[in-house]
Amino acid sequence: MTKVILVRHGQTQWNLEMKYQGHCDVALTEEGIRQANLAANSLAEESLSAVYASDLCRAFATAECIAKKHQLQVKTIPEFREINFGKWEGLTYAAINDQWSDLMAKLLTHPDEIEIPEGETFRAVKERSTIALTKLVEKHPDQTIVVVSHGGTIRTILCAVLNIHLNYLWNIKQDNTAINILEYYDNQVLVSLVNGTHHLKVGSIE
């Protein structure tokens, strides 16, 4: 069995300001670093073979906290980036809604059908991220690996694994440093944890 632990990055300033980040490289806040260290503590007893992350700094910094506990180096894979929000990147929900109210309504109700101005579709994100994940599973038979990515990207992966239509991706909650666990067997994948945040409630940084 190959175990894949999917982790969302820690908090950023743009998370606090409700700004769409997408491919913009936004650093973790102090709270985000604290969350990342708590996630690292919760995974300290795992026997990890590798730690991967998207190449955006908020995911990489979160992954570094986890990798450090296991004396591993983080390997970056751009295919695990967040969706490219195009013209919406750096704008708040309210600002986007003012200019693209119809598209914003569709983003919330039919995300599978939306084409973000100069951005990417969720179908494209699902394809690139699941192809990359399949390659990692094949590369790490009977091992445990961590992949640190982004809320939208992780949701598309979970939709793919659970065979859920992408129009329901917002039904899957992903908090900052949420832990999700996938178990790959010969012909089956089991989702054993979604949006695990217990470490944020009871953890302490050592």
Q: Which residues are catalytic?
A: 9, 82
**How far from 36 is each of 78, 90, 100, 112, 199, CA to CA, in Å?**
20, 23, 34, 30, 10
Query: Which of 40-77 are b and which e, b meaning 16 or more Cβ less than 10 Å from the residue's Cβ?
Result: bbbbeebebbbbbbbebbbbbbbbbbbbebbebebebb
Nearest CA-CA partner of 156 in 192, 124, 118, 115 = 124
Tell me which residue has tokens 């494209």: 124
User: Is 188 marked as a binding-site residue?
Assistant: no
d(CA 136, CA 147): 10
Question: Are 189 and 162 contacting, i.e. CB atoms less than 8 angstroms apart?
Answer: no
Phi, psi of 46, rounded to the nearest 5 degrees: -70, 145
User: Is 15 marked as a binding-site residue?
Assistant: yes
The DSSP 8-state label assigned to residue 119 in this structure reads: S
User: Is 128 marked as a binding-site residue?
Assistant: no
User: Is 21 marked as a binding-site residue?
Assistant: no
User: Residue type at 5?
Assistant: I
User: Is 9 marked as a binding-site residue?
Assistant: yes
User: Is 81 marked as a binding-site residue?
Assistant: no
User: Is 35 marked as a binding-site residue?
Assistant: no
DSSP-assigned letters across all residues of 70-95 = TT--EEE-GGGSPP--GGGTT-BHHH
Binding-site positions for substrate read: 8-15, 58
Which residue ranges are tagged as binding site?
Answer: 8-15, 58
